[in-house]
Chains A and B, each alone.
Chain A
Amino acid sequence: EAGVAQSPRYKIIEKRQSVAFWCNPISGHATLYWYQQILGQGPKLLIQFQNNGVVDDSQLPKDRFSAERLKGVDSTLKIQPAKLEDSAVYLCASSLEPFTSYNEQFFGPGTRLTVL
């Protein structure tokens, strides 16, 4: 079974530029998550989608971050404009659906963003 795919793997941009990350979840997984992992910290949930609807975006900085999941499959996370503190690894994860007691999240390899 193919895992969660993410691209690009690495991105270097200057502050105030825009950047977009792409995620393709495991086939059949209804739930998709974007996490931000700053160096030395654990991942922090930015947004959770159930199919193409948003379940939780309470920690998404909405003034500069946006995300969409068209057709309930692939997802894109955008930052516009980027700040130095956005330098982090952006992880995408997917799971079957959240209502089961055993609901494992499968993670992609992440996109490492460096903002100069």
Chain B
Amino acid sequence: KQEVTQIPAALSVPEGENLVLNCSFTDSAIYNLQWFRQDPGKGLTSLLLIQSSQREQTSGRLNASLDKSSGRSTLYIAASQPGDSATYLCAVRLNGGATNKLIFGTGTLLAVQP
């Protein structure tokens, strides 16, 4: 059974700091991995999607890496801003067939202090 874990559960950093969020999964047979952002009272916003054959994806100040063999992914946020404060969730897709099931981690609550 695939399990997804995120560490730390909560993180508080001063504005401008670079930071890393961690995601680990127990079964390396994944199809892809996504990082989402969730703001209070709102749905999830997809940030980055990494295919199983890829090592990393970048979007602006965000960089996500994937190491399937070790069952790990990291989300790197450069020059953090107060607007980055949110809960960050990673999710793995198990296969490429009709079932597009995502298994989510429990999230990391990020607070960026001005």
Binding site for B on A (CB under 8 A): 4, 31, 33, 40-45, 48, 50, 55-56, 91, 93, 95, 98-99, 101-110, 112
Contacts and interface: CB of A to CB of B under 8 A. Distances in A.
Nearest to A41: B106
A91 B104 contact: no
Interface of B: 4, 31-32, 34, 36, 41-46, 49, 51, 89, 91, 93, 96-102, 104-107
Contacts of A31: 100
A108 B41 CA distance: 11
B43 A45 contact: no
A105 B92 CA distance: 12
Nearest to B41: A109
A16 B32 CA distance: 40
B101 A101 contact: no
A108 B102 contact: no
A69 B107 CA distance: 30
A107 B45 contact: yes
A42 B100 contact: no
Nearest to A31: B100
Contact of B98 (A91, A93, A98, A101): A98
Contact of B43 (A48, A50, A107): A107
A107 B91 CA distance: 14
B86 to A, nearest CB: 14
Contact of A109 (B42, B51, B102): B42
A4 B42 CA distance: 12
Contacts of A4: 43
A79 to B, nearest CB: 20
A102 B91 CA distance: 14
